[in-house]
Structure 1
Amino acid sequence: MVHKVIEWSLRNRFIVLMLSLGIFVWGVISVKKNPIDAIPDLSENQVIVFTEWMGRAPQLIEDQITYPLVTNLQGLPRIKYVRGSSMFGMSFIYVIFDDDVDIYWARERVLERLSTVSSTLPTGATPQLGPDGTGVGHILWYTLDAPKLDLGEQRAVQDWYIKFALQNVQGVSEIASFGGFQKQYQVTVDPNRLLYYKLSVPDVINAVRTNNNESGGRKFEMSDIGYIIKTSGYLQSIEEIENIPVANQNGNPIKISDIGTVQMTGEARLGIFDQDGEGERVGGIVVMRYGENAAEVIDRIKLKMKEVAKGLPEGVKFDIVYDRGELIKESVESIKRTLIEEMIVVSIVVIIFLFHWRSALSIIIQIPITLAVSFILLNAFGISSNIMSLTGIALAIGVIVDNGIIMSENAYKHLSERYEQWESSNKKSSEI
């Protein structure tokens, strides 16, 4: 079979050259389409389910949330295994699917199962899906350089302006905010006053909830003019919360201010984000969507940041603290430079040792064609151009050249043997 292929190739050299040229052009197009990243994505094909039930101990979280979810999610199709983790106020479920399963198909199956399981969970515990990213999806970290704003104001700008704008960028799964204070009204009740007025904490919570609401009205006409009636019941200040009545005793209203204090403060924090030892910072983490091109997503994010920066308060600007784009560029450029240097050195060595330009050309021309085929296969199998894949291609060049040299020497050997046979036959014919 191999002899027939070689014979056909020798007889149809023009067709072989055209096929090689076509493969090379296809490879060049594949290089431009191939996604670029610094490191390969070796994370598992997983869907994360997290549930908040604040204030509960890990053992209670394990018994009431994690265990029911794990046992119900284990029956999903094309699943490998389910992992569960419980901590204070939080439950995490990691559903691992087969590697060839589409991630969005897997998320749909998990959502279908959660719709039937949620009714068995405690009140206030609602399972949610994590972002459709991977373990290496953190492609860019940024902070806000805002010396004129306090940490609460910076976090408000991040959560209510920057986050919504950057989440619209194509290829972004999530913008995770960190640092600063999330403003909230905090009601601190006095246990002794609650006991004195014979009230409980649920009574206070219920009073605040019922008074922080709006109800619809109706339309009525007066003097040929239509009016729409509505109530505005949302709490907007500390004074309004303090004046909320909790109960009525002997005709006297018991207000929030009678049993505790109300203040504007930040949500309780478990840590801070300090940058370069110069103080706390507020910022965000850009999480890339599954299967996206990291280099292109980073370029889109930076372009969007320039647009968002025009609407920031005076003196506020972005400070990028981690940018995988720079790592990608440096890694790819290093590998490209190595490939070019290796091709040049190999070509010189082949020419010097063979000292025959046609033989050297037949070996050297294999290198770009093989690289083209490599990128065609990378696209076919969904593998990105990263340090590992490009290094493998660089190491394979030596094997390609060795094979070419062996084939050339083998061809020379057979040609010399045939030439000797031809010379001996000519001598015999001349003697006759």
Structure 2
Amino acid sequence: MTSENRDQHKPASQPTGLRTRVETRAMTALHMIHKWSIEHPYVIISFYLAVIISSVIAIRFFMPRRFMPYVESPMVGVVTMMPGLSAQEMETYISKPIEEQLVNVKNLHYIRSTSQDGFSIVSLEFNYGTDMKKALFDVQSLMNVIQANLPTTGANLKPSWVLAIDPLNLPILSLSVTGDYRWDKVKLREFVDNDVVNRLKTIPAVYSVVPFGGYKRQLQVIVDRDKLAAYKLSILDVKNAIDKYNVRRSGGVLTHGANESIVRIDTLAQDPETVLNYPIASVSASGAITPMAPSSSGGMGGMGTGSSLTGVGSTFDRTGPQSSAPTAGLAFPNPTPAGGTGKFEQPKIVYIRDVARVVDTHWERRSAYHYMRHGKVVESIEVSVVQDPAASSAKVVPSVMKAIRQLEQENPGVKFDVAYDNAHFVGILFKNMFEELGIAIVLTAIAVLFFLGEWRGTLIALITIPISLAMAIAGLGALGMTLNSGTLIGLLLSIGRLVDDSIIDIHAVERHMRMGKDPKTATIDGIAEVRLAVIASTLVLVLALVPLLFSGGIVQLMFVELVWPIILALLSSMLVSFTLTALLCANLLRPHSELEGERSRWFYRRVLGPFQNMLGRMEGGYARIIRWMLKHRFSNMTRVLATVIIGFAFYYMIGSEMMPLADVGQAYGVLEMAPGTSFAEAERATRALERIIAKYPEIEKASIEIGTETMFESFSPFYTGYSMPQVNGAMMMLTFSDKDERKRNIWQIIDAIHEEAIATIPGIRRLQIKEMGSDVMA
């Protein structure tokens, strides 16, 4: 645009110096950016449409959704189990030696231990920001040396286990599995251990699938003490026989002419009949006892095993009641001559069936799972799904449920019920947060309408603010960040500054239009006039926030999810004001001379007009206050200093916490009975606690694990740090109804349950119920 065209829209009385100064501004780069954007509308519109599409794709397909930002736990645990040792012995012989050696691990912040009867856990906390994979490896390497110095107690010794401690690694999904009359309890547990676990572990982002409770199959050998004594055998002979013959391995190769065959020894305990036919020992006519043993020491037995098989087949004629005994790979004793007669007698082979009976049943119950729904308890089997630490339950849970529905169709009679679903709470969070974003944008538009007094400016703000947010979300996706409460709060906080940018630009354009300029010229001059100030304020805010991204430790980990959205939103808003705001102002805003008809309408006369007059009076009053402050500088400075002093005084009266408490409708509970309590007694106490919980209709579901299964066989490989599974304890996940549907908050219900349980259930050592999801450690 030439200076001659610009001068046509200026008042005739404008001074020459001012005209020259404006003409000089028209040649700056800021003017050229706005001018180019206005003259190339299709390029600008296409660019921002691409931004919107990119942000939608990022939200829908790439950005994980989480309740809270993931902060890697800096803790590692060393678990040692030695049944039979007291708590004092575990402390003396296990916990203390491990502690004394692990203090040499690099970047260790502190170390502590907990010792109980037969159990020890040593917890190591590292500095935040430490490479935890390397720290875990360092601890494992050092434990290989420490393990050799721990006391050996024979069969009771179990190797120490090094594992990550992560309070956030609770299951994202707990399923209750039941079966109808076609499924007995043992068969159902085998189905869960094999089919369900294997199917779900193939789903991307599923870290572990953990079954719990039910009845695990076991072949029990019940020995007759009198029959053992008659054969002069002990129960250890029976145990050794089972250990030796419960095998499946290669027996070598048999070659006959042009043919060659592989021989295999298969006496694995598949059913009671196989175990009954295991030989224990041979008893000669003179009463000598010779233990039976496999002919090969294992592995690829070479040709020796093959030749032994041939010898067995050609030497003995197996007839009579012992003909069903397994012969493959077994070394039977040679016949011995009867005393002085010169005749050979066959030794008697003693089998398991001669001294015991075998029952196909289940393990001794040391664990149970109860699923409570609206006060009704169902004993079932739990399937817990643990996702990868940085994954999104909102994406993992639907994939898991799809596989579950397929399993139900393939296995009639099996039913899966959702006992706990973290994705449900994440869905509520995002629903509420997106509603808040929408409400914030609408309220912003209303505020702009009242303060500007013109609907076109409101429309511009309604377009530019969401587009700035969309560009910020696309940037978050490019940085590999997740959508969580931290990033959404950051976007909410940035809306205030986005409104400032829109109002400043629109107000500047309107001011230049009052000078008589056409919309295009007013847009170029007005936005360029305020742009340097906006750029400077934006950069100052960004520079003030950037140090939080590099502060290190827990501060950086906590604020990175909050700061990046604000920075990206500020930069996006600056770019939008350079381009899209200029394009919209130039095409939507109208000169004041064309707005007289609109101002005569009732809405402007009754609502907007009076509000604009009130703003005018407020500006006049503000101007008088400023003049008074400039005239009375000492009084003004005294006021400022008093405000600062009072502010710092109140700072020490305000409490502090990492995150505020929040009622999100979920809680985690731990019940621990007194040491020495049996599983049956712990289950009775848990049932009493369930009856108390059932009194509160606000609790919709409860997923309750009672007892433990051997050495974490059915527990998450990530230890949460809340408690260790013990035979005398229980752990529970409670799901409450939405807080808007309850008259009582979650803490009132938790406190009431805790008070009644402690007063009415004897033998409780610890009962802890804590709300979840309100802070980074939940």
| TM norm. shorter chain > 0.5 | yes
**1:320 and 2:418 aligned:** yes
Aligned match for 1:273, one of 348, 370, 381: 370
Indicate how the Cα distance of structure 1 residues 85 and 354 shifts in structure 2: closer, same or farther if over 3 A, else same.
Answer: same
Alignment of structure 1 residues 58-97 onto 2, 5 Å: 58-97=87-126
Aligned match for 1:143, one of 173, 176, 189: 176
Indicate how the Cα distance of structure 1 residues 274 and 322 shifts in structure 2: closer, same or farther if over 3 A, else same.
Answer: closer
Conserved 8 A contact 1:131-1:174: no
**1:125 and 2:125 aligned:** no
Conserved 8 A contact 1:272-1:280: yes
Greater relative CO (CA pairs within 8 A, separation 6+) = 1
Q: How far did 1:35 drift?
A: 1.3
Q: Which residue of 2 aligns with 1:336?
A: 434
Conserved 8 A contact 2:213-2:369: yes
Q: Which residue of 2 aligns with 1:212?
A: 246
Conserved 8 A contact 2:186-2:362: no
Q: How far did 1:8 drift?
A: 4.5
Q: How far did 1:371 drift?
A: 2.2
**1:353 and 2:386 aligned:** no
Q: How far did 1:166 drift?
A: 0.9
1:312-368 Cα shifts (integer Å, max 9, x gaps):
3x3113222222233322321222122112212211221122124565466555522
Unaligned runs of 5+ in 1: 420-432
Q: Which residue of 2 aligns with 1:156?
A: 190
Q: How far did 1:111 drift?
A: 3.7
Distance 1:28 1:283 in 2: 37
Alignment of structure 1 residues 120-269 onto 2, 5 Å: 120-121=149-150, 122=152, 124-130=157-163, 135-148=168-181, 149-187=183-221, 205-214=239-248, 216-238=250-272, 241=275, 245=280, 250-251=287-288, 262-263=358-359, 264-269=361-366
Indicate how the Cα distance of structure 1 residues 252 and 235 shifts in structure 2: closer, same or farther if over 3 A, else same.
Answer: same
Alignment of structure 1 residues 303-314 onto 2, 5 Å: 303-312=402-411, 314=412
Distance 2:202 2:111 in 1: 32
Q: Which residue of 2 aligns with 1:427?
A: none
Distance 1:198 1:28 in 2: 79
Distance 1:155 1:213 in 2: 24
- Which amino acid counterpart does residue 267 of structure 1 have in structure 2? E
Q: How far did 1:395 drift?
A: 4.5
Conserved 8 A contact 1:78-1:97: yes
Distance 1:151 1:131 in 2: 33
SS in 2 for 1:231: strand
Q: Which residue of 1 aligns with 2:14?
A: none
Q: How far did 1:180 drift?
A: 0.3
SS in 2 for 1:125: coil
**1:298 and 2:397 aligned:** yes
Distance 1:24 1:120 in 2: 63
**In percent, how many aligned pairs have the same letter?**
24
Q: How far did 1:132 drift?
A: 9.3
Q: How far did 1:266 drift?
A: 1.9
Count of matched residue positions in the alignment of Structure 1 and Structure 2: 412
Distance 2:227 2:91 in 1: 35
Conserved 8 A contact 1:275-1:281: no
Distance 1:106 1:77 in 2: 8
Indicate how the Cα distance of structure 1 residues 183 and 257 shifts in structure 2: closer, same or farther if over 3 A, else same.
Answer: same
Distance 2:471 2:218 in 1: 59
Aligned match for 1:386, one of 484, 490, 498: 484
Conserved 8 A contact 1:34-1:375: no
Indicate how the Cα distance of structure 1 residues 347 and 208 shifts in structure 2: closer, same or farther if over 3 A, else same.
Answer: same
- Which amino acid counterpart does residue 175 of structure 2 have in structure 1? Y
- Which amino acid counterpart does residue 365 of structure 2 have in structure 1? A
Q: How far did 1:172 drift?
A: 1.0
Indicate how the Cα distance of structure 1 residues 41 and 353 shifts in structure 2: closer, same or farther if over 3 A, else same.
Answer: same
Conserved 8 A contact 2:214-2:367: no
Query: Which shows bigger deviation, 196-205 or 362-371?
Result: 196-205
- TM-score for the superposition, normalised by structure 1: 0.76
- TM-score for the superposition, normalised by structure 2: 0.45
* RMSD of equivalent CA atoms: 4.3
Unaligned runs of 5+ in 2: 1-24, 39-43, 291-349, 518-778
- Which amino acid counterpart does residue 382 of structure 2 have in structure 1? G
- Which amino acid counterpart does residue 228 of structure 1 have in structure 2? I
